[in-house]
């Protein structure tokens, strides 16, 4: 009878094992680094695109507001000048033909005359009404809200976020006032409309300045 004896060979190749572990460690580290690098690149690309879109939005809003501010300010000034000659808070004006002609040339179509009566030599009472074409504007914040909704703003520094948030808050305030102005015009409440336009005459330049500041500094958010 033969007996077979088995013996385990413990001739362990430590160099080989350590080499395999080292290669595995390097492989995992490289995979993590590449994944982080790829994620960082994607985040930076998204951030750059967001800044481009926000910049375009601010430029468009700036253009819209400057145009509207110019037109609506003319309305406010025209009303202020005509208010000096309105008769007893009515739509009638009392003045000389020369003065009225001067106002008509400076503010065409603001006051439309239907008829007139001479009440004293060189002074007439004119009947008519003010025609106000208020420039309503829409200032968007789609790019900003989209950037916030997908958390790209997490990549912005505090100073950049603070400036943009302040600018858009002021923009919402201006839009709220222009809505009030539209309602006042619809209800033909001219004193209230002029009060709102006076307030907008203070807010609008602030917002325009904010736009211009952000356009100059927005690239620093990259």
User: For residue range 63-115, what is the model confidence (pLDDT) as tens digits?
Assistant: 999 999 999 999 999 999 998 999 887 889 999 999 999 999 999 988 999 99
Handedness of CA 50, 56, 58, 61 (dihedral sign): negative
Q: What is the pLDDT of residue 6?
A: 41
Q: Which residues contact 196 (CB under 8 A, 6 or more apart)?
A: 177, 180, 181, 184
Closest CA to 54 of 205, 167, 175: 167
Coil vs helix vs strand at 138: coil
Q: What is the pLDDT of residue 43?
A: 60
Q: What is the pLDDT of residue 8?
A: 45
What's the chain's Rg over C-alpha atoms?
A: 35
Q: Where are the beta strands (DSSP E) in 15-146?
A: 93-95, 111-120, 123-130
* Alpha carbon distance 172, 9 (integer Å): 80
CB contact at 8 A, 52 and 221: no
Share of the chain above pLDDT 90, in %: 57
Closest CA to 57 of 189, 136, 155, 148: 148
75 or 29: which leads in pLDDT:
75
* Alpha carbon distance 153, 141 (integer Å): 14
pTM of the complete model: 0.76
* Alpha carbon distance 222, 154 (integer Å): 12
Q: What is the pLDDT of residue 47?
A: 85
Q: What is the pLDDT of residues 189-219, one digit of tens each?
A: 888 999 999 999 999 999 999 999 999 999 8
Query: Tokens 């481009």 sit at which residue?
Result: 52
45 or 189: which leads in pLDDT:
189
């Amino acid at each position: 009878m033969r007996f077979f004896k088995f013996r385990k060979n413990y001739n362990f190749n430590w160099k080989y094992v350590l080499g395999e572990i080292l290669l595995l460690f390097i492989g995992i580290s490289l995979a993590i680094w590449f994944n982080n690098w790829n994620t960082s690149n994607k985040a930076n690309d998204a951030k750059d695109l967001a800044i481009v879109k926000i910049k375009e939005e601010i430029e468009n809003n700036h253009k819209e507001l400057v145009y509207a501010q110019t037109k609506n300010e003319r309305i406010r000034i025209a009303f202020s000048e005509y208010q000096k000659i309105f008769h007893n808070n009515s739509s009638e004006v009392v003045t000389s033909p020369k003065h009225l002609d001067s106002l008509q040339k400076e503010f065409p179509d603001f006051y439309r005359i239907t008829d007139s009566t001479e009440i004293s030599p060189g002074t007439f009472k004119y009947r008519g009404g003010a025609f106000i074409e208020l420039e309503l504007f829409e200032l968007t914040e789609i790019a900003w809200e989209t950037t916030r909704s997908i958390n790209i703003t997490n990549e912005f520094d505090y100073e950049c976020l603070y400036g943009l948030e302040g600018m858009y808050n002021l923009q919402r305030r201006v839009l709220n006032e222009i809505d009030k102005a539209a309602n006042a015009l619809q209800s033909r409440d001219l004193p209230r409309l002029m009060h709102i336009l006076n307030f907008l005459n203070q807010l609008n330049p602030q917002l325009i300045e904010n736009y211009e500041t952000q356009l100059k500094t927005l690239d620093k958010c990259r």
